[in-house]
Structure 1
Amino acid sequence: MASPSTAATPQPAAKPAPPAPILEARSLVKRYPNGDVTAVDNVSLSIKPGEYLSIMGPSGSGKSTLLNLLGGLDTPTSGEVLFQGTPYSSFPSLDQLRATHLGYVFQSFHLLPTLTALENIQVPMFEGPRSAADRQAAAWELLKLVHMEHRARHSPLQLSVGERQRVAIARSLANDPQVLLADEPTGNLDSKNGSEVLDLFDKIHQQHGVTLVVITHGGEVADRAQRLLTYRDGRVVGDERR
């Protein structure tokens, strides 16, 4: 009589490792000694690729300073920021990092008044290898994405505030960034234009897989994010995943 099978018991498949953070802050501090102000007080956090993160807190809490540190626009007093595991201090040029991997949307738009909407979108592309024809074609596609192609030849002064923010969003995507950082992007907009801008962020996140980090002091932005950090007095006091 044959002996029973001695085959090994099947083992459960190993769980895949979680993705490495695309942005990471380690013990980040930003202190302004002249005013004895600590805007960022020992903040550590990690942001996954494709995440939609909102940082919410009252005005003056230091959340914009934190965003500037994450984006390499400011230098920490201590601690470090890493992009895909590499500390910012190890990059030969943060200008190159910002030009190729990070996009920015500012509350005050920062569009160049002497350029048209189409030309403003092309400004970040000047650092890259694209030809003039390629830059213009890419800018047209971005204008279509934000529904502003009919205003391509208008200067910022000829645009409404909502239209300026749409152009600014298109410009932030000019170099196909992996991370989009937005500082109070609806702060200067009425409720209708603000909702339309947030709809654009939803579309960009869902269709393009861009990692979004949005600073806000209002609930509507936070309600759309997958993850909400509550920020107060230079510290993260809450971290909620939706």
Structure 2
Amino acid sequence: DLYELNFNSFWCIVMGYCSPLVLSTLYFGFVNQAFFRLCRIIYWRNEWIQSFQFYIIIPFIELIISALLSSPILFWHDIVYLPNDYFCYVSVSNTRGILWIFFVSFGNCILILLFIYIRITIYLRQQSNNQIIRFRQGQQRDLIVIKRIFITVGLLSILGIPAAVFLFLFFISGQVHPLVWRIELFFVGLQMIGLCLSQITLIPQLKQIILQKFQRNRVIPLNTVVTRSIPLKQYITTR
């Protein structure tokens, strides 16, 4: 440009490369919850894969795997500077890069959740009816939680439909809409809000803490305090 600035720099490409990694890490959080339920139901005798240390280590392993899966877009040089949006990312016109990012960020997590759900369903159907009722009820509760996780991830993935629509329009017209990434990033923001809210509904302990905090901060009207104190005072005076 006129100021001899290279916007398509190394750090700009690195930032564009890290964006799908962040989304993939967030969605892997749902996979970890479902995997924990899978271990409680099927591999309940293996205490190590249910330990706290295991679930501290596994996010870093998932981050490394996501980084390796996302590396092809670097070797393909798919991340470029977008002059209309002022940041580096894969252009919508690059079908290969867009589909690969979709697979790394959403597709693999959805496939893993689907596999876990099918595996638990088959396992529960193969179990005999002579199991302890309380144990089976715990398994059914874990299966219900996995259903909710799968539905939540599916609903959040629906917010990626605008990108698919713009990609379809590009196939028809051969032109990229100038506001495609601004619209898509708006829906990504909605996804982040949905992720935060879904964590509250999927984690009973967190939901209970928030409800207790809300009830503790509730303001009791002064009229109710006065009306409740009058009968007690009258009772004391009569005694």
Q: Which has the higher contact order (CA 8 A, sep 6+)?
A: 1
Q: Which structure's residues are more often strand, by fraction?
A: 1
TM-score interval, smaller chain: under 0.3
Q: Which structure's residues are more often helix, by fraction?
A: 2
Q: What is the TM-score when the length of structure 2 is the normalising length?
A: 0.21
